[in-house]
Chain A
Amino acid sequence: MRFIFKTDYAQDIRLAKHGGHLFWYGLLGAILLAAPWWASEYVMSQLHFICIYSIVGFGLMILTGFTGQVSLGHAAFLAVGAYTEALMQAAGVPFAVSISCAAIFSAAAGIIIGLPALRLKGIYLAIATLAFGVVVEEIITRWTKLTGGNEGKHLKPVEILGWKLDSDAEFYYLCLALTVLCCLACVNLLRSPTGRAFVAIRDSEISASCLGVNLAKYKTMAFAISAALTGVGGALYAHKLAFISPEQFTLFQSIELLTIVILGGIGFLHGAVLGAAFIIVLPQLISIAKGWLPEGMAPSGLQAVVFGLILILFIIFEPLGLYGRWLKVRTYFELFPFYRKGMFRRQKSYMKSERLR
């Protein structure tokens, strides 16, 4: 068990709380930086996706995990980011500008959906965002002049100041750098008054507003920040695939993004990364498992079944997700003989009616 003896206020705001943090994150960073040397081409491609999904996961984590607002329409923000990037690149705008614009336009879309969201709660919010997602998807399909409709859009590799990032390794470093930047931005945001306000809103809107948190301002802000991060993710996603079309931004994409947050562990930034990795690796595991199916059963449904089952089992048995499981394991070893079974137990609660507001 580690006790941190604080002798200085600066210790409270330091990013790495103790030497262990420095060591392990340093090691992780070193392994990731060296990835082009140890990873095969296939693994590199998976790493790209993990980075991209992590960024989107951070965005969704801020909205759902920390502010407590559900969004079933995040694929729309992903789409806004991806299409902004595609169109701007086609127009010859430099990458730094176009990816910022992707973030800004997504944030604007986030504000558009965030404003009505101020009046909505719980399930109505989920459905409003769902409707928004569907409408955006349809707009992209129909506005053929701008988006190319179902024929989609092609993208060239990223080019920064005349330097073409067309190899896997170069694009990987770009993704990794942006992921780390976004992660640090989120960590900083969450320990700022804004982040505290988000958490206060999640825990109780009434108490938050009593304590002087401007609900309208912070909820809209949460939507905007979340959408901006998703937009950045979307821009990278577009470059990774090099081809985007409306069917990549359906409701299922939104649900998949939401599962990243849930499987990873809701309310932890680590969870976003773990969830992203899990979601990327899962299809591979499933395709291995397809070989074990008995004769006569069509393997096409297996992915949906496994996906659904994992979601259900996680929610019932591990509501804190992968990161929660890690926390439990860690606490077990830290407290070694004294770990008790009920330490992380969910409290019994009774449903609070949403009809009262």
Chain B
Amino acid sequence: MLLAGVAQGCVYALGALGFVLIYKATETVNFAQGDLMMLGGFFALTASVTLGWPYWATILFAVAAMAVVGMLAERLILRPVLGQPAFTVVMITIGLGYVVRGVVTMVPGWGTETYQIATPFVDDVWTLGGVILPVQQLMVIGMTAALCALLYFFFRFSTLGVAMQATSQNQLAAYYMGIPVRRVNMMIWGLSAGVAAFAGILLAPVTFVHSNMGFIGLKAFPAAVVGGFGSVPGAIVGGLIIGVVEALAGFYLPEGFKDVAAYIVVLVVLLVWPSGIFGETGRKKV
């Protein structure tokens, strides 16, 4: 059960990672992250069911397609409000979420039904010293870990990653240092949408693919907040905390607590650490 919580937490963590990436680079929050996740799931669905591609090709296709969608969204919707207060961006991404959700239900062949994506490792089970480990969940955990390591090294060592961090800390100074801020923003949106697609695919066997899948994104939110926006390890820890707390609440507490557990954790964490557990705070100098 703890493992199930961890696996679920990993999915939240991936969702949270999408938030954190965008926050890190542009210091805005993408409320449409869950819907992008859902769109990624549908792309994967089309590739695997309609076109009959293998699982790995499906993942590549969905991630690439979503990266393009993310970049388009940045170019068309976010660029005109570049530099506006965070609230503006929150509302505009909420709008984006509505559009994505609406479009998905209107596309012929997608609609409002629930679908399933076949995965190569659904029912396998490993037994390790008497403990039964479903491979499905281990895969989710493994893939999350791999992706996190990749992103960590990307931000730490690649020029583009460092440029993205610089942009996030001070747009104006980043311009002065010769960083093409707009292009960097566009790339980070692509990257984040790609991560969202990945999360969507990993989530697909658990929740199936349907047009309201994006609401999982609302769970990824608490994950990002608990860990502190702007911190990649924070997102992972936050996701795990939320996943485990939810699993435990579902088991030990009366019905109903499972759904709100995440939000109660958020309220408590925000009361104690106003910018999340791993959030960095600096002092503003006037």
Contact = CB atoms under 8 A, between A and B. Distances in A.
A141 interface: yes
B44 interface: no
Interface stretch (A36-44, A171-179, A345-353): A345-353
A348 B80 CA distance: 11
Contacts of B171: 350-351
B99 A138 contact: no
A353 B169 contact: yes
A128 B266 contact: yes
A308 B97 CA distance: 7
A330 interface: no
A135 interface: yes
- Where chain A touches its partner, the secondary structure class is helix
A128 B169 CA distance: 24
A303 B105 CA distance: 11
Nearest to B26: A351
Interface string B251-286: 000001001100110110011001110011111111
Interface in A296-325: 296-312, 315-316, 319
B96 interface: yes
A352 B235 CA distance: 23
Contacts of A224: none
B96 A308 contact: yes
Interface of B: 23, 26-27, 29, 77, 80-84, 86-88, 90-92, 94-108, 111-112, 168-172, 211, 218, 221-222, 225, 229-230, 256, 259-260, 263-264, 266-267, 270-271, 274-276, 279-286
Given A131-B222, A353-B27, A355-B169, 10 more contacts: A123-B229, A298-B105, A298-B106, A302-B106, A304-B99, A304-B102, A309-B99, A349-B84, A357-B282, A357-B284
25 contacts: A116-B270, A120-B274, A123-B29, A123-B90, A124-B275, A128-B266, A132-B263, A135-B263, A138-B259, A141-B256, A142-B256, A297-B108, A301-B101, A301-B102, A305-B98, A308-B94, A308-B95, A308-B100, A311-B95, A312-B77, A315-B95, A316-B81, A319-B84, A350-B171, A356-B283
